[in-house]
């Protein structure tokens, strides 16, 4: 939690900016228009881990839509009979498997192909076997997207945000074994083939590590933040060694995402307690991150300049002008358009007993908090 002084200063700055900008901002709204142009990624080959559901699935689908051959990797597979039961995804999502994602890609119009690969990234031999398969099948590897993540324990209630000494090794292992170690080993096995690809095809392969704002500011719990900060540092340090091989890396930050699991938690009334009051209605679809990744892969000049950096999906979308599938560009988590409606306005309404005036809620300025302020402590929570 921010200190009381920092909170007061932050709220003061926010409202000063809001009041100053009210007269100059238009209250006219228009229907969102999808401005995303699917890039041409024909001939490119990608691996996406954690691709049976959630953000990984959204990325796999968008890379396939752009023409990639996508190796859809995850533990959950029809062929093995294993379906992850870590999280209740509801009756509508009983077939979150690598085959299901691959089928969706293969049923699209275009040149994209989905190849299902049952894979547990905790198993180093399975990762090595996947790389051998990609090399034998295609002879190249243009993108590796590390999105696999084990659902932490107690995600469905406030104990997910409990003190670290009460969570112990179980939370640490859940956040690090797959999300960090598995990512590291996937990169270790993939890089030799990516080096060959860069030389042979005169291209710039890309490694994307799916991280989160938890890498910058306290979020949820200690183990979670350490894992995401580790992902950020992994991308940064890999870039130092991979630059001479013309391979780029990014740590990609989605915002609040409407995954199958999050939507189901919201239906059950568990989302608010688990997230600390984050507004899922303002969230992004998993495909939004996929569009960001496909766009990055089509712009090697951009990835070479930003290699090793954190790239925020919503901020990239605003910069390059692409939208989510509903035509919106959801606000970055460090944008006042997210912070005020999610945290500040609800607290004001709770304390005053009256709704925040419409002139204020409808005219929040599009302003990013500097990382130095955003990362100085955790955001306030609804409770």
For 133-174, write each residue's pLDDT tens digit.
999 999 999 999 999 998 887 777 778 888 999 999 999 998
Distance of CA 100 to the CA centre of its chain: 21
Nearest CA-CA partner of 67 in 113, 26, 106 = 113
Which ranges in the chain belong to alpha helices (H)?
A: 4-22, 54-65, 98-106, 124-138, 164-176, 183-201, 222-242, 260-268, 271-275, 286-297, 300-306, 313-320, 336-339, 345-352, 358-361, 371-374
Please give the pLDDT value at position 2. 37
Residues 270-282 have pLDDT tens digits of 888 877 777 888 8
Question: Do 45 and 141 touch, CB atoms closer than 8 A?
Answer: yes
Look at residue 25 and tell me whether its pLDDT is greater than 60. no
DSSP 372: H
Average pLDDT over residues 24-45: 75
Please give the pLDDT value at position 379. 58
Rounded to whole angstroms, how far apart are CA atoms 74 and 54? 11
- At 115 the three-state DSSP class reads strand
Average pLDDT over residues 353-363: 89
Q: Binning pLDDT at 50, 70 and 90, where does residue 83 land? A: confident
Please give the pLDDT value at position 120. 95
Question: Do 49 and 56 touch, CB atoms closer than 8 A?
Answer: yes
Lowest mean pLDDT among 168-177, 183-192, 314-323, 340-349: 340-349
User: Is the full-model pTM beyond 0.85?
Assistant: yes
Please give the pLDDT value at position 320. 94
Count of CB atoms situated within 10 Å of the CB of 351: 8
Rounded to whole angstroms, how far apart are CA atoms 228 and 253? 10
| Sheet containing strand 45-49, strands side by side | 113-118, 69-74, 45-49, 143-146, 206-210, 248-253, 309-312
Question: Do 178 and 121 touch, CB atoms closer than 8 A?
Answer: yes
Please give the pLDDT value at position 383. 53
Percent share of the chain, pLDDT over 70: 90
Average pLDDT over residues 372-380: 74
Rounded to whole angstroms, how far apart are CA atoms 364 and 369? 13
Look at residue 12 and tell me whether its pLDDT is greater than 70. no
Lowest mean pLDDT among 89-98, 110-119, 161-170, 347-356: 89-98
Q: Binning pLDDT at 50, 70 and 90, where does residue 90 land? A: confident
| CA-based radius of gyration for the chain | 21
Average pLDDT over residues 52-58: 95
Please give the pLDDT value at position 31. 67
Question: Do 283 and 265 touch, CB atoms closer than 8 A?
Answer: no
Please give the pLDDT value at position 19. 47
Nearest CA-CA partner of 88 in 280, 261, 262, 257 = 261
Residues 162-215 have pLDDT tens digits of 899 999 999 999 899 999 999 999 999 999 999 999 999 999 999 999 999 999
Between the alpha carbon of residue 296 and those of residues 40, 67, 326, 364, the distances in Å are 12, 14, 20, 29
Please give the pLDDT value at position 303. 96
Look at residue 298 and tell me whether its pLDDT is greater than 80. yes
Residues 63-81 have pLDDT tens digits of 999 999 999 999 999 999 8
Residues 6+ apart with CB under 8 A from 196: 140
Look at residue 325 and tell me whether its pLDDT is greater than 60. yes
Question: Do 161 and 167 touch, CB atoms closer than 8 A?
Answer: no
Look at residue 15 and tell me whether its pLDDT is greater than 60. no
Q: 20 versus 341: which is more confidently predicted?
A: 341
Lowest mean pLDDT among 92-96, 105-109, 183-187, 377-381: 377-381
Question: Do 290 and 61 touch, CB atoms closer than 8 A?
Answer: yes
Look at residue 91 and tell me whether its pLDDT is greater than 80. no
Q: Binning pLDDT at 50, 70 and 90, where does residue 348 land? A: confident
Look at residue 119 and tell me whether its pLDDT is greater than 80. yes
Beta partners for 69? 45, 113
Look at residue 89 and tell me whether its pLDDT is greater than 60. yes
Please give the pLDDT value at position 380. 56
Q: 265 versus 197: which is more confidently predicted?
A: 197
Rounded to whole angstroms, how far apart are CA atoms 200 and 194? 10
């Amino acid at each position: 939690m921010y200190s009381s002084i920092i909170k007061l200063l932050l709220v003061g700055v926010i409202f000063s900016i809001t009041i100053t900008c009210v007269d100059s901002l238009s209250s006219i709204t228009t229907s969102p228009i999808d401005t995303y142009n699917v890039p041409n990624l024909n001939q490119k080959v990608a691996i996406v881990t954690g691709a049976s559901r959630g953000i990984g699935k959204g990325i796999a689908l968008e890379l396939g839509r752009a023409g990639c051959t996508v190796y859809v990797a995850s533990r959950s597979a029809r062929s093995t009979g294993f379906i992850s039961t870590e999280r209740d995804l509801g009756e509508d999502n009983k077939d979150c498997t690598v085959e299901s994602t691959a089928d969706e890609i293969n049923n699209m119009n275009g040149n994209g192909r989905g190849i299902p690969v049952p894979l547990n990234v905790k198993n180093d031999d399975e990762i090595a076997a996947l790389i051998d398969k990609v090399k034998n099948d295609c002879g190249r590897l243009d993108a590796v997207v590390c999105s696999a993540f084990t659902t932490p324990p107690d995600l469905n209630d406030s104990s997910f945000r409990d003190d670290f000494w009460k969570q112990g090794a179980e939370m640490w292992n859940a956040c690090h074994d797959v999300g960090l170690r598995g990512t590291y080993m996937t990169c270790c096995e993939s890089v030799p083939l990516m080096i060959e690809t860069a030389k042979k095809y005169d291209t710039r392969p890309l490694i994307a590590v799916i991280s989160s704002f938890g890498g910058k500011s306290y979020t949820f719990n200690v183990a979670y933040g350490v894992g995401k900060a580790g992902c950020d540092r992994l991308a940064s340090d890999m870039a130092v060694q991979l630059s001479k091989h013309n391979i780029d890396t990014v740590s990609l930050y989605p915002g609040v995402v409407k995954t199958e699991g999050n939507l189901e938690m919201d239906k059950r009334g568990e989302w608010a307690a688990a997230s600390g009051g984050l507004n899922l209605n303002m969230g992004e679809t998993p495909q939004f991150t996929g569009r960001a990744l496909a766009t990055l892969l089509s712009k090697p000049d951009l990835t070479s300049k930003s290699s090793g950096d954190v790239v925020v999906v919503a901020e990239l979308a605003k910069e390059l002008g692409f939208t989510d599938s509903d035509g919106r560009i959801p606000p970055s988590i460090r944008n006042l358009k997210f912070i005020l409606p999610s945290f500040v306005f609800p607290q004001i309404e709770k304390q005053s007993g009256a709704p925040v005036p419409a002139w204020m809620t409808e005219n929040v300025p599009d302003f990013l908090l500097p990382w130095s302020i955003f990362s100085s402590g955790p955001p306030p929570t609804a409770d």
